[in-house]
Amino acid sequence: MTQRLHLVFGGELVDTTGNVFKNVDDIHIVGLFPDYKSAYDAWKTEAQRTVDNAHMRYFLAHIHRLRDEETPASATEELGG
């Protein structure tokens, strides 16, 4: 079975319309999760916990989708498949 890791992280943004963090040193790493559901649940918990701060945002990154940009992609990857 393929493992599909997900990263949940967040922090305070410079403004509510972007995705630039106010202070990168203060980014909150919630954790790495072995599947989308557990990552989504962690993301939702943190997003709801900080709902009163409009500048606070949490993100869910699909680590399994990252790849080395120096390595040529297969035709399937280039097509998004």
Q: What is the pLDDT of residues 26-50, one digit of tens each?
A: 999 999 999 999 999 999 999 999 9
CB 7 within 8 A of CB 42: no
- Domain 1-60 -> CATH class: alpha beta
Higher pLDDT, 66 or 29: 29
Collect all residues with Cβ–Cβ distance below 8 Å to 44 and sequence separation of at least 6.
Answer: none
This prediction has a pTM of 0.76
Q: Whole-number mean pLDDT of the chain?
A: 86
Q: Amino acid letter at 79?
A: L
